[in-house]
């Protein structure tokens, strides 16, 4: 497993349209798939008012992940962004985000969320040869 340069990680991030947003609800981890875009120096996404994400994104720490893993080939990559999110309230910026992101989930999705690329980490696995299931003695 190799760490990616930030520029490579951001390029892979920008190549995807669906990721997973991670947040906390009552101190428990929560995660949901979501469509997104990279806009300037941030991940932008949309949600509906009164969702758990809308609450968590209003000044809370979010992680956002994209990946593409091929378990049979044992290759793949993942990129994670971590930062303090904000709900975008400027109408012009809201409209920009609404134009960039097609919601996956139904609902109004009027809440625009911006997660700055504060911490970006990326990893790639390729050409790894490791034992397959069954290579080890198993009672199954």
Integer Cα distance of 8 and 5 in angstroms: 5
Separation CA 35–CA 9 (nearest Å): 18
Q: Which of 42, 43, 53, 62 binds a second copy (CB under 8 A)?
A: 62
Nearest distance, CB of residue 137 and a second copy, angstroms = 7
Q: Tell me, by CB under 8 A, how many residues bind a second copy.
A: 52
35 binds a second copy (CB under 8 A): yes
- Show the site string, 71-110: x = touches a second copy by CB under 8 A, - = not: x--x-x-x-x-x---------x--xx-xxxxxxxxxx-x-
Q: Report the distance separating Cα 25 and Cα 61, nearest Å.
A: 11
Q: Write out the two tokens for 109.
A: 């999705």
Structure tokens at 38: 């990279």
- Contacts (CB under 8 A) with a second copy, residues 3-22: 17-18, 20, 22
Which one, of 56, 55, 34, 58, lies nearest residue 46 by Cα?
Answer: 34
Closest CB to a second copy among residues 5, 30: 30
The answer to whether residues 61 and 119 touch, using CB atoms and an 8 Å cutoff, is no
First CA to last CA across the chain, in angstroms?
A: 30
Assigned token pair, 25: 């609800």
Shortest Cβ 32–a second copy spacing (Å): 7
Enumerate binding residues for a second copy (CB under 8 A).
Answer: 1, 17-18, 20, 22-24, 28-33, 35, 61-63, 65, 67, 69, 71, 74, 76, 78, 80, 82, 92, 95-96, 98-107, 109, 125, 128, 130-134, 136-140
């Amino acid at each position: 497993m190799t760490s990616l340069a930030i520029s490579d990680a951001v390029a892979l991030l920008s190549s995807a349209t669906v990721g997973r947003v991670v947040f906390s609800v009552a101190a428990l981890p929560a995660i949901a798939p979501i469509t997104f875009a990279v806009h300037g120096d941030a991940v932008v996404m949309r949600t509906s008012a009164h969702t758990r994400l809308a609450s968590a994104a209003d000044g809370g720490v979010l992680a956002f992940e994209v990946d593409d893993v091929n378990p049979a080939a044992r290759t793949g990559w993942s990129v994670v962004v971590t930062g303090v999110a904000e709900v975008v309230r400027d109408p012009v910026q809201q409209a920009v985000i609404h134009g960039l992101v097609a919601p996956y989930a139904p609902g109004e999705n009027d809440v625009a969320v911006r997660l700055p690329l504060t911490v970006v980490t990326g990893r790639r696995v390729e050409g790894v040869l490791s034992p397959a299931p069954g290579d080890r003695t198993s009672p199954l």
